[in-house]
């Protein structure tokens, strides 16, 4: 399966919205290529289930029978300091790197339109993703999506909970971003902050791959700001 984590149509942080929009076309290409090879695509735009209502993709997730898990699935899985130590960046300010900082809000309503949702896909923002995997005997999962230090790690369809419950999960590391403000510790660039989170994930949570292993060519890189 391929899980698309919280690629919202809009984020409260302008910088985050810009990077999502820049990454989304490449992600859509990877999603299409995976789908053509028979991979189940699970779209997970958290807090946007109302938008998808009674669509077949939403119903597909809702109809997956619940299963008992090795580790109870939580709405949010926080960092376990005994297992991971500390995160290599300070994101306690919310991670907005804009100047002035953007006011926090919840402007998202759906997944960004750039990423196609096909009839055979599924849509959820809960443990239903894991139930779908078990229903279909899926053991190998790729996660793409946006904020490595937040939803990608913490959600019930995120890396920590999938790994703890025996899924062979990998992060597609060039198809991610972070919420990190370079004015916070360790005072590195935004991209370096993301790179440090990816290294933390590789060390403590799961392996990573890059989108060129699906599409060929080169891994995705954000354009430098002028």
Token pair for residue 175? 């198809």
Q: Specify the 3-state DSSP secondary structure of 96.
A: coil
**Dihedral-angle region of residue 64 (phi above 0 means left; psi in -120 to 50 means alpha; beta otherwise):** beta
CA–CA distance, 47 with 50 (Å, rounded to integer)? 8
CA–CA distance, 22 with 89 (Å, rounded to integer)? 23
What is the pLDDT confidence band of residue 224, given thresholds at 50, 70 and 90?
confident
Of 223, 220, 222, 176, which is closest to residue 199 (Cα–Cα)? 176
pTM, two decimal places: 0.97
Token pair for residue 210? 């890059």
Q: What confidence score (pLDDT) does residue 225 get?
A: 77
* pLDDT over 90 percentage in the chain: 99
CA–CA distance, 94 with 106 (Å, rounded to integer)? 13
Element (H, E) at 42: strand 41-44
What is the pLDDT confidence band of residue 226, given thresholds at 50, 70 and 90?
low
């Amino acid at each position: 399966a391929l899980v698309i984590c919280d690629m919202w149509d809009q984020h409260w942080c302008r910088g985050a919205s810009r990077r999502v929009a820049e990454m989304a076309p490449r992600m859509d290409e990877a999603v299409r290529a995976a789908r053509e090879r028979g991979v189940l695509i699970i779209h997970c735009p958290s807090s946007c289930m109302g938008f998808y209502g009674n669509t077949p993709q939403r119903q597909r997730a809702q109809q997956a029978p619940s299963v008992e898990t090795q580790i109870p699935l939580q709405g949010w899985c926080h960092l376990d300091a005994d297992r991971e130590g500390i995160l290599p960046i300070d994101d306690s300010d919310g991670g907005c790197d804009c100047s002035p900082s953007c006011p926090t809000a919840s402007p998202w309503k759906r997944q960004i339109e750039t990423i196609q949702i096909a009839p055979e896909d599924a849509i959820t923002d809960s443990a239903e993703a894991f139930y779908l995997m078990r229903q279909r005997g899926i053991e190998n999962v790729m996660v793409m999506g946006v904020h490595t230090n937040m939803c990608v790690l913490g959600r019930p369809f995120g890396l920590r909970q999938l790994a703890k419950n025996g899924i062979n999960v990998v992060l597609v590391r060039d198809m991610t971003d972070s919420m990190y403000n370079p004015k916070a510790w360790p005072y590195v660039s935004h991209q370096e902050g993301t790179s440090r989170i990816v290294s933390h994930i590789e060390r403590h949570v799961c392996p990573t791959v890059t989108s060129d292993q699906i599409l060929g060519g080169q891994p995705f890189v954000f354009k430098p700001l002028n």
